[in-house]
Chains A and B, each alone.
Chain A
Amino acid sequence: MASKRKQKRQVGQTAPTRRYAMVIDTNRCVGCWTCAVACKEVNNEPLGYWWNRVLTTAPNQAWSSQSPAAAPPASGNIDVPYGTYPNLQLAYLPVACQQCNDAPCVKVCPVQATFRRDDGMVLIDYDRCIGCRYCMAACPYGVRIFNWGGGEYAPGGIVGYGEDYYVDGHLVFTPVRPKGVVEKCTFCVERVGVGEKPFCVESCPLGARVFGDLNDPDSEVSELVNDGGAERLLSELGTEPNVYYLPVARRVPAES
């Protein structure tokens, strides 16, 4: 067990040469929520907690907070198109932690519980977090999830990755979600550490998610990002996310 832990701690040391990134192709996403449910499963998220969500949007809305927002459907329900018949628009935007390079959550955390690894992953030490939720106030993307009351689990007990996982001595994953701390998408640090891809990437039935190393010019993510046209959420805020989106390229009907 001890040797196992030591091995895991080395993940942080091998990392600096890498820059992990994810590219999500919004042309491919059909809004099936498979990635969101897979995320719940692998991270054992309690009922009512979602680290990863698939939002119903009009195409290409979220790249800037200044873009005039299309009025969302009054119901606030998913899968309801934007606009009025026959000029309807619909696209999906999967959102989890954007793994920012200049992360507001890292800057505000008073106890350095939230930290950024050199390979670009933003992680939380669940043993250190005091639960002040300042990071939730600071994150522009609303992806941080506080554990309010421990939570209720779906029947069947613990699923997913079943062990504590440490990075440089920080507890960044634990199978039972701890009460009173903030949690979020970890880029599946424990899977990436053993050479696997994040579980949402694995599980997407349409191959809309690509994961890889931006420092490797031949990787698929590098090609997609360097090709131009990859967007980031609320890019004008300067948070420099490591999650990129390929914008919807299909023709949008003109306003009548």
Chain B
Amino acid sequence: MATGTAALRAKANRSARPIAWWYAALVLVMAWGLAAWIDELRVGLAATGMRDIVSWGLYILTFAFFIGLSAGGLIMASSAEVFGIKALKPLSRLGVLSAAACVCVAGLMIIPDLGKPFRILNIFIHPNWSSPLVWDVLIISVYFVFSLVDLFVLQRRARGTSKWRATARVLAYIGLPAAILLHSVTAWIFGLQISRAWWNTSLMAPLFVVSAILSGVALVTLLALIAERWGRFSLPPETRRWLRGFIIVSMLIDLFMVGADYITMLWGNQPAARAELNLVLPNGPWSWLFWCEWIVGGAVPLALLLVPRLKRLPGSLGVAAVLALVGVYAFRIELVVVGFVNPLIQYPPGNAIGTYNASTSSFEFVGRYSPTWVEYGIVLGLSALFATIVTVGYRWLRLGKSSSGDPSGHDDTLPTLLADKGASFVGGRDQWP
């Protein structure tokens, strides 16, 4: 079992110069994003591909995606404490670091979406408490501060001072419900709206919570694998097994909920809901999302994690994590963009889209959307910011160093991990090769 890890670790010693290139690339992408944003400020949101029917696009769906990503880390770090899963402890600090970075990037992602970004403080000056968006901004801010505090405490504990242990425990008990609240409130931005048949389901909050756990755990898995490959981070087999279990279970629940929603819409056959569903089902214009969600991000990663022959392949966990992220991102596109495509009042000539072009109609009957380079630039720039925060944080907190002697950075050693009763979670037959 350790052969793969050891082989990878052996390659990991050359780490000084590549990091400079990595930073340079990140700075370049961030500069591109900044330039794109300046261009958007100049032109207005006309620089984006959004128009009056599909009036939210890449920014909001990526915002929802990053909010989801922030779940995994914090939920794992907290579960390690709350449910006493020792195998997850080595991931605590990495998880909380990625949670903080994700939630920071998610918050920033809203700003380029605003038509009047310099008025954003109005949310705090004139808050409308019936708006889920106000609550979301509030919870995002609290969650960000919370994850920083949690990171600080975990760092102190890792340095060996036992007096921080109690604090870490208390924080874990706050962190779990806080994470669930964050995702529920984000889900309610969409789920409470009677105007969109595609959104208006009570399943939205639970669905957001599971897809958040799925994507968040996949992200932490990926980060841990990358850190193991290049950053002298150690990922014990027992921890891998837990990550695999988390991905499998949350993916199954996620697909189950999406499927249950489809069935409800198909059976009810109400015109508004069917109009949306037909877009994503096979043969519909957005069916590529369906395939991304169910096959690329569903069946394939499940096979990689469950079929004995496949799961023994060295890269299977990493590939499955990437595919899980693809699936959840497809779900976000499906939610935000497809939700807008067919307005409830849809009669010729449709809605005015808000731009004039002498050669084409100003009206659109069915909404269309394709992001522009400004949108891609800003989203990639902010994603690079995420990578920068994680890289800098990883090195600054010395997450890699502590693993050289003792995998978890504090009280857990490999033998105790393996002996832990948590090992029964995935099922006894699931032995890491």
Residues of B within 8 A of A56 (CB): 347-349
Residues of A within 8 A of B362 (CB): 47-48, 50
Inter-chain contact count A-B, CB under 8 Å? Answer: 194
Residues of B within 8 A of A67 (CB): 271
The interface bits of chain B over 108-127 (1 if a CB of A lies within 8 angstroms of the residue's CB, else 0) are: 00100111110110110111
B89 lies within 8 A of chain A by Cβ: no
The interface bits of chain A over 31-51 (1 if a CB of B lies within 8 angstroms of the residue's CB, else 0) are: 000000000000000111110
Q: Are A112 and B356 interface neighbours, CB within 8 A?
A: no
The chain B residue sitting closest to A182, CB to CB, is B115
The chain A residue sitting closest to B118, CB to CB, is A130
The chain B residue sitting closest to A128, CB to CB, is B122
Report the separation of the CA atoms of residues A113 and B197 in the bound assembly, to the nearest whole angstrom.
26
A147 lies within 8 A of chain B by Cβ: yes
Report the separation of the CA atoms of residues A140 and B55 in the bound assembly, to the nearest whole angstrom.
13
Q: Are B133 and A108 interface neighbours, CB within 8 A?
A: yes
Contact of A77 among B127, B131, B345, B348 (CB under 8 A): B348
B139 lies within 8 A of chain A by Cβ: no
A179 lies within 8 A of chain B by Cβ: yes
B134 lies within 8 A of chain A by Cβ: yes
A138 lies within 8 A of chain B by Cβ: yes
Instruction: From A148-156, A207-215, A220-228, A246-254, give the one contacting chain B.
Output: A148-156
Residues of B within 8 A of A68 (CB): 271
The chain B residue sitting closest to A77, CB to CB, is B348
B392 lies within 8 A of chain A by Cβ: no
The interface bits of chain B over 231-265 (1 if a CB of A lies within 8 angstroms of the residue's CB, else 0) are: 00000000000000000000000000000000000
A146 lies within 8 A of chain B by Cβ: yes
Instruction: From B29-37, B39-47, B65-73, B204-212, give the one contacting chain A.
Output: B39-47
Instruction: From B188-196, B395-403, B421-429, give the one contacting chain A.
Output: B188-196
Contact residues of B between 125 and 155, Cβ < 8 Å to A: 125-128, 130-134, 137
Contact of B119 among A130, A133, A137, A147 (CB under 8 A): A130
Contact residues of A between 104 and 119, Cβ < 8 Å to B: 104, 107-113
Identify whether the interface residues of A are mostly helix, strand, loop, or mixed.
loop
Residues of B within 8 A of A140 (CB): 194-195, 344-345
Identify whether the interface residues of B are mostly helix, strand, loop, or mixed.
loop
The interface bits of chain A over 65-81 (1 if a CB of B lies within 8 angstroms of the residue's CB, else 0) are: 11111001101111010
Total contacting residues, chain B, CB less than 8 A: 61
B343 lies within 8 A of chain A by Cβ: yes
Report the separation of the CA atoms of residues A107 and B130 in the bound assembly, to the nearest whole angstrom.
6
Residues of A within 8 A of B270 (CB): 65-66
Tell whether A111 pairs with B351 under 8 Å between CB atoms, given A66-B271, A149-B44. no
Q: Are A148 and B46 interface neighbours, CB within 8 A?
A: yes
Q: Are B345 and A47 interface neighbours, CB within 8 A?
A: no
Tell whether A76 pairs with B351 under 8 Å between CB atoms, given A68-B271, A130-B123. no
Q: Are A145 and B52 interface neighbours, CB within 8 A?
A: yes
Contact of B195 among A111, A138, A181 (CB under 8 A): A138
Contact of B43 among A132, A133, A147, A149 (CB under 8 A): A149
Q: Are A65 and B347 interface neighbours, CB within 8 A?
A: no
Q: Are B116 and A237 interface neighbours, CB within 8 A?
A: no
B234 to chain A, nearest CB (A): 44
A68 to chain B, nearest CB (A): 6
Residues of B within 8 A of A142 (CB): 52-53, 343-345, 351
Contact of B354 among A62, A93, A141, A148 (CB under 8 A): A148
Given contacts A110-B128, A146-B354, 16 further A-B contacts (CB under 8 A): A48-B355, A68-B271, A72-B348, A95-B345, A104-B195, A108-B130, A108-B193, A110-B122, A110-B131, A113-B126, A129-B119, A130-B120, A145-B354, A146-B45, A147-B354, A150-B44
B contact set with A: CB distance below 8 Å: 43-47, 50-53, 55-56, 110, 113-117, 119-120, 122-123, 125-128, 130-134, 137, 189-190, 193-197, 270-272, 340, 343-357, 362-363, 365-366
A contact set with B: CB distance below 8 Å: 46-50, 53, 55-57, 61-62, 65-69, 72-73, 75-78, 80, 93, 95, 104, 107-113, 128-134, 136-142, 145-152, 179-182, 233-234, 237-239
Q: Which 6 A-B pairs have the closest CB atoms?
A: A131-B115, A149-B46, A180-B115, A48-B356, A47-B356, A76-B365
